[in-house]
Amino acid sequence: MRDAALAVLVCSLLLVLGTILAGCTGTGKTGDMISPSLTQSPVITPSAPGEPGPGPGNTTGVSEANNQFSADLYQQLAGGPGASGGNIFFSPYSISSALAITYEGARGPTADEIRSVFHFPVDDTRRRQEFASINGVINNGDTGYSLNTANALWAEKTFAFLPDYTGIAEQWYSANVTNLDFAGQPDDSRLTINHWVSEKTNDKIQDLLPPGSVTSLTRLVITNAVYFKGTWEKQFDTNMTQDAGFQVSANDTTTVKMMQRTDDDARYPYAENGDVQMLEMPYAHSSGEGLSMIVLLPKGDNLSAAEQYLSPGNFSLLEQSVSVQRVNVFFPKFRLETQYSLPTILGAMGMPTAFTGSADFSGMDGKQDLLISDVIHKAYVDVNEEGTEAAAATGVVMNLAAVREENPVPVFRADHPFVFMIWDNNTGTILFTGRVTDPGSS
């Protein structure tokens, strides 16, 4: 798989904070985010999709929290208004990172609700150290691929934020403060932030904050960005790609470009049971555990049979039967572009107070005058023989209110809807989660 490149970028979870009362001002702070093909499959009793469980891989508390949030949010997006069985793609780590910085300034029921939705460790030291550790691993560098994450705070220059809050953001999340004139030049401030987002995502996410999203009441924007670019360990030959049918639904088939690996070197971590096939496609790396795309393909036409294994507990059970073996792989080229407005979804998940006048973000400025007014998430992914390129961005706008026997070579033919994750094996953290129901639809 060394012919294909994967470029995955996550552009920033943005949290924009403003004031409930337009007249509030303050002194500005100075300061510039595998069962092999088994004859007898192991008995696996899946839990409910949203039920917590041990995360796969070498996870810490924060990794487990991120992975559980990924499963929870996927479940909401898959069953939410307008979902209608369509494609899904988002970055749980970008969202979790930015909301962790937001959580540092939350107090009382507002903090309790955010912690519950994101499953953050209660212990402040543990949570901060683990975020810092994961970010350190991500930014450590590997000659086999590029992977980076960044945080930043963008503050209204006339508004006084507590030094304790900005200090924590800088020390543990490497989020330095840049002062902007939201009150006097909100649109210029918006363009400055959008430029940072574009720069951190190699220009893949443009205009994350749309016109009107930043106003004279905006007081703070928190940004997170993650960028990944790598090559498959076992690449696809473009000459082998052929037109093939993809079963979008029981009564609808579309034609896609189907990549394939059926040679003797097509050996992958693989597992299956009565419900699902799991294929792990690693990316090339020079040290550590590297990253992988993990694909969950239902054996029938019931996508929920695969979706249930996005739950960390269920996935851990499936992972116990993984082994490296020959697999005949057929995988479609696809490109997805998604956009979500998340306040209603996050509220339904258990944090409604943050979006109301009862919100308490007094840990940011010493007063209960900040609330979240909107959360926007945009994402992009392109998978082909040369690799994968993906980007995701979120804006949160806040205002003042085992050993196996030899078996026949399994065939992994992804010609019907499937779900997938892009996984950092070094930290056990899910960076991206998606669902493909129609590879030909963006």
One DSSP character per residue, 46-115 reads: ---TT---PPSSS--HHHHHHHHHHHHHHHHHHHSTT-TT--EEE-HHHHHHHHHHHHTT--HHHHHHHH
Q: What is the pLDDT along the chain (442 residues), one digit of tens a residue?
A: 333 333 444 443 344 444 443 333 333 333 332 332 322 333 334 444 444 333 333 345 999 999 999 999 999 999 866 566 789 989 999 999 999 999 999 999 999 999 999 999 999 999 999 999 999 998 887 888 878 888 999 999 999 999 999 999 999 999 999 999 999 999 999 899 989 988 888 877 778 888 888 888 889 988 888 777 778 889 999 999 999 999 998 888 999 999 999 999 999 999 999 999 999 999 888 988 888 999 999 999 889 999 999 999 999 999 999 999 999 999 998 888 788 888 889 999 999 999 999 999 999 999 999 888 787 787 777 777 766 767 776 666 667 663 344 568 898 889 899 898 988 888 899 988 989 898 877 6
Helix axes 312-319, 61-79, angle to 10 degrees: 110
Helix, strand, or coil (residue 15)? strand
Specify the CATH superfamily of domain 238-333+405-436: Alpha-1-antitrypsin, domain 1 (2.30.39.10)
User: Which residues in the chain are classed under CATH 3.30.497.10?
Assistant: 5-33+50-230+337-399
Calpha distance 122→116 (Å, rounded):
10
Q: Collect contacts of 300-303 with beta carbons under 8 A, ≥24 apart.
A: 301/247, 301/249, 301/250, 301/416, 301/417, 303/85, 303/417, 303/418, 303/419, 303/435, 303/437
Calpha distance 310→307 (Å, rounded):
5
Q: Quote the DSSP letter at residue 233.
A: S
User: Which residues in the chain are classed under CATH 2.30.39.10?
Assistant: 238-333+405-436
Helix, strand, or coil (residue 117)? helix
Calpha distance 2→100 (Å, rounded):
36
DSSP per-residue codes, 247-310: EEETTEEEEEEEEEE-STT-EEEEEE-SSEEEEEEEBP-SSSS-EEEEEEEESSS-THHHHGGG
Burial category of 255 from C-beta neighbours within 10 Å (exposed 0-12, middle 13-18, buried 19 and up): exposed
Q: Which residue is associated with the tokens 């473009």?
A: 238
Domain 5-33+50-230+337-399 CATH class label = alpha beta
